[in-house]
Homo-oligomer: A and B are copies of this chain.
Amino acid sequence: MSRKILVLPGDGIGPEITREAVKILNACREAGLEASVEEGLVGGAGIDAHGVPLPDETLARAKAADAVLLGAVGGPQWDKIEDLAKRPEKGLLGLRKNLNLFGNLRPALLYPQLASASSLKPEIVAGLDIMIVRELTGGIYFGQPRGIEERDGEKVGFNTYIYAEHEIERIGRVAFEMARARGGKLCSVDKANVLEATILWREVMERLAPEYPDVELSHMYVDNAAMQLVRAPKQFDVIVTGNMFGDILSDAAAMLTGSIGMLPSASLNEQRQGMHEPCHGSAPDIAGQGVANPLATILSVAMMLRYSLEAPQLAERIERAVGSVLDQGLRTADIAFEGTAPVSTQAMGDAVLAAF
């Protein structure tokens, strides 16, 4: 059965990093992956071409695809747009919501070759391997009512943090399954001492626990989780949390590794259709210079193969190839240590291809 892959390069460094990832994708096709690859517009690129961050055509093609590979969206030229519906981010949020990609997997993995890039002491982060499971289509990101309006003679801005049981349950199951397949430990992060929405969250996680007797479930308040990530991150195996806390904690966790240019992510729906993208942003300051690190995007192709295209062997081949270029000492500027000459985006992509 032939699969459909839609590539959405987006903005900033998006086009140059996805270009390298597509090379690897093509190598996978030569290695037996039956898939077609096409490209579309999203984010600022969508705004510039069609006036909207998520053109109808892009959405239709994304829905018809088995997997989407996204570069990154956003940049200063669209930052002044006040209407949230017309900003590049809305392209991303619209894809997540319309494809129902509620399950966001964000690994924070320290590559031993890059251990010294971390701002944390080596003994604190050596061997770090956390998987953050973030709910991606609910919570305060999408809750209604929301807006800015006049009340009692002044403006008020408001959003709604809301979760229904079924939303919590389905992300809970993704996380329990993930913990089962990994180290067997699941930490659910909430603010159940203050927020009712997260009291329900904790309740549903507790209710699921007996179905996964092989998984050890714990709970942590979000403020404490932010502290523990800094203090002793290796205590965590899998973390599950809502959309907003997941946004904050997954970025903090990613930064613990010191090399966010290495970290991929997957966003999946019930059918395992997925959008796969690097954790880093569009880095407008270095866009178009050919210096960006394509490895997170290449590793996002690996996640795509593993989670959406049922091709785990190819995923492993990519991951091994990335490990091998790191072993060879190849470094783009973001992960280069003093004294090493950095390689270009393209040279890095070519090296992974050669090692594949």
Q: Chain A interface (Cβ within 8 Å of chain B)?
A: 74, 82, 84, 87, 89, 93, 119-121, 124, 140-141, 143, 146-148, 151-152, 154-166, 191, 193-201, 222-224, 226-227, 229-232, 244-245, 247-252, 254-256, 258, 260
Contacts and interface: CB of A to CB of B under 8 A. Distances in A.
A1 B151 CA distance: 41
A143 B256 CA distance: 33
A171 to B, nearest CB: 14
24 contacts: A84-B199, A87-B193, A89-B194, A119-B231, A120-B120, A120-B230, A146-B196, A147-B196, A148-B199, A154-B165, A155-B165, A156-B162, A156-B165, A157-B163, A157-B195, A157-B200, A158-B197, A159-B197, A191-B244, A222-B248, A226-B249, A230-B252, A230-B255, A231-B258
A160 B247 CA distance: 18
Contacts of A155: 164-165, 200
A200 B156 contact: yes
Contact of A230 (B119, B157, B194): B119
A127 to B, nearest CB: 15
B121 A157 contact: no
Nearest to A79: B193
A221 B39 CA distance: 30
Between A199, A223, A230, the greatest number of chain B beta carbons within 10 A of the residue's beta carbon is seen for A230
B89 A193 contact: yes
Contacts of A255: 226-227, 230-231
B159 A195 contact: yes
A158 B143 contact: yes
A166 B154 contact: yes
A164 B156 contact: yes
A76 B223 CA distance: 18
Contacts of A143: 158
A84 B162 contact: no
Given A157-B196, A157-B200, A252 B232 contact: no
Nearest to A219: B79
Contacts of A194: 84, 89, 93, 141
Nearest to A82: B199
Nearest to A204: B155
Given A120-B120, A244-B191, A248-B222, A158 B148 contact: no
Between A151, A200, A226, the greatest number of chain B beta carbons within 10 A of the residue's beta carbon is seen for A226
Nearest to A223: B251
Between A157, A163, A254, A260, the greatest number of chain B beta carbons within 10 A of the residue's beta carbon is seen for A157
A85 B164 CA distance: 22
Contact of A121 (B120, B201, B251): B120
A152 B227 CA distance: 38
Contacts of A166: 154
Between A163, A196, A229, A248, the greatest number of chain B beta carbons within 10 A of the residue's beta carbon is seen for A248
A251 B227 contact: yes
